[in-house]
Amino acid sequence: MTAHIIDGKALAEELRQGFKSRVETLTAKGHKPGLVVILVGEDPASQVYVKNKVNGCLAIGMHSEKITYDAAVDQETVLKKIAELNADPAIHGILVQLPLPKHFDEEKVLEAISADKDVDGFHAENVGALAQGNPRFIPCTPYGVMKMFEQGKVDLNGKEAVVIGRSNIVGKPMALLLINAGATVTVCNSRTRDLKFHTSRADIVVAAVGKPKFVTGDMIKPGAVVIDVGINRLQDGPDAGKLCGDVDYAGCLEVAGQITPVPGGVGPMTITMLLANTIEAAERKAGLR
Ligand code: GUN
């Protein structure tokens, strides 16, 4: 059996088309949605992500701007800018691209963003709301994965789900969303003893561990839904330089019931849900929700 491929690129495009009329309505009422993305340093991957975030906004008629700082900038300068943006009525979403340079206190920076403008969903208030099952902003990558489950008509209620990865950005919020949806959730990581014991029982596997081809076909239960959040660049071998997920796609394709590719899977959904969160923030401000 070959798995059904959940096409994140197509779903992302469909959703973004649907956002345009909401942006138009907001703009007509004087609430054009606006996102500011702050980038500190010159990490090449972060530069690409930030460019795509800003361009994604502009393509559907939103306002967006990037603010960049040298890696050596002091934290106070960034905190001052965040305070300004918190008070700016034209800005509905503020995102600080992670990771930050080592001299930053990441938590302090994220907590400085007003919870109402925290379109990443990383502020403690928003994390707490998600944990209580009453989310306000859902972190973009796991939010995108939930939309992909919807698209693939995956019923999560009562299912065994394994999340591999325990980051604040993906693993933990993903586990909370699955719990809220009624799944039985096991959270593993790269050091889990006998990972296969867990994954081979799972109806749903979400791999967010940052290790190329970590999940292989023999670890998957036939018919399982396999979601690949990884974006790794292969260092050597014949495919050096190519992108690859945390899942051995070719090996799992023959075993899984549904699977997401890399590229073209979860990646395009992350930015799409950032747009969704920013539009939602603007709609709240405009009294439309
Ligand atoms: N770095 C990697 N993923 C993300 C994300 O979703 N948001 C932010 N702010 N930084 C990231």
Give the ligand 1 atom nearest the CA of 139.
6
Ligand 1 close to Cβ of residue 273 (< 6 A): no
pLDDT surpasses 80 at 252: yes
Alpha-carbon torsion, ordered 40, 41, 47, 52, to 10 deg: 10
Amino acid letter, residue 24: E
Q: What is the mean pLDDT of residues 99-119?
A: 98
Assess whether 108 and 151 both reside in one domain.
no
271 Cα: distance to centroid of ligand 1 (angstroms): 10
Domain extent at residue 255? 140-267
Assess whether 56 and 165 both reside in one domain.
no
Domain count, the chain: 2
Q: pLDDT tens digits for 69-93?
A: 999 999 999 999 999 999 999 999 9
Ligand 1 close to Cβ of residue 37 (< 6 A): no
Q: pLDDT tens digits for 152-192?
A: 999 999 999 999 999 999 999 999 999 999 999 999 999 99
Q: What is the pLDDT of residue 274?
A: 98
Q: What is the mean pLDDT of the chain?
A: 97
Tell me whether residue 165 is annotated as binding.
yes
**281: in domain:** no
Cis preceding-peptide flag for 263 (omega within 30 of 0): yes
Q: What residue's CA is closest to ligand 1, atom 4?
A: 98
Tell me whether residue 82 is annotated as binding.
no
Ligand 1 close to Cβ of residue 95 (< 6 A): yes
169 Cα: distance to centroid of ligand 1 (angstroms): 7
Q: What is the pLDDT of residue 1?
A: 77
In DSSP notation, 48-85 reads HHHHHHHHHHHHTT-EEEEEEE-TT--HHHHHHHHHHH
Q: In CATH, what number is assigned to the domain containing residue 61?
A: 3.40.50.10860
pLDDT band at 236 (very low <50, low <70, confident <90, very high): confident
Ligand 1 close to Cβ of residue 98 (< 6 A): yes
Catalytic residues: 53, 97, 120
Tell the burial category of 285 from Cβ atoms under 10 Å away from its Cβ (0-12, 13-18, 19+): middle
Q: In CATH, what number is assigned to the domain containing residue 228?
A: 3.40.50.720
Assess whether 79 and 189 both reside in one domain.
no
In the structure, how many helices (H) and strands (E) does the chain have?
A: 10, 11
Pocket test for ligand 1, best of 78, 95, 98, 145 (most atoms within 8 A of CB): 98
**62: in domain:** yes
Q: What is the pLDDT of residue 187?
A: 98
- Percentage of the residues of the chain whose pLDDT score is greater than 90: 97
Ligand 1 close to Cβ of residue 82 (< 6 A): no
Q: pLDDT tens digits for 126-156?
A: 999 999 999 999 999 999 999 999 999 999 9
